Amino acid sequence: MKEGGVSQSPSRDHYSYTVYADPETAHSFDDRRFGGPIGELVASEQAHVLTSFVGEIGGRPVLDVGTGTGRAARLLARAGARVTAIDASEEMLSVARRRALDEELSISFATGDVHRLGFGNRSFDVAISLRVLMHVPDWRGALAELCRVADNLVVVDYPSAISFAALQAAVRRLAHGVGARTEPYRVLSQAAVAHELNKAGFRIRSIHRQFFLPIALHKAIGSRRLTMATELLFQKVGLVDLFGTPVTLVAERCS
User: Which domain does 61 fall in, by range?
Assistant: 15-253
pLDDT tens-place string over residues 129-141 = 999 999 999 999 9
pLDDT of residue 6: 40
Is residue 8, in this structure, part of any structural domain at all?
A: no
pLDDT of residue 179: 82
pLDDT of residue 9: 64
pLDDT of residue 53: 95
Is residue 9, in this structure, part of any structural domain at all?
A: no
pLDDT of residue 177: 84
Is residue 107, in this structure, part of any structural domain at all?
A: yes
Q: Which residues of the chain have pLDDT under 50?
A: 1-7
Q: How far apart are CA 172 and CA 163, in angstroms?
A: 15
Q: Which of 61, 197, 70 is nearest to 120 (CA)?
A: 61
Amino acid at 135: H
| Burial tier of 36 (Cβ tally within 10 Å: 0-12, 13-18, 19+) | middle
Q: Which of 172, 197, 173 is nearest to 247 (CA)?
A: 197
pLDDT of residue 8: 53
Q: Count up the domains in the chain and report the number.
A: 1
pLDDT of residue 13: 85
Is residue 1, in this structure, part of any structural domain at all?
A: no
DSSP lists the bridge partners of residue 206 as 250
Contact indicator for 155, 250 with CB cutoff of 8 Å: yes
pLDDT tens-place string over residues 50-66 = 999 999 999 999 999 99
Is residue 2, in this structure, part of any structural domain at all?
A: no
CATH number at residue 186: 3.40.50.150
Is residue 6, in this structure, part of any structural domain at all?
A: no
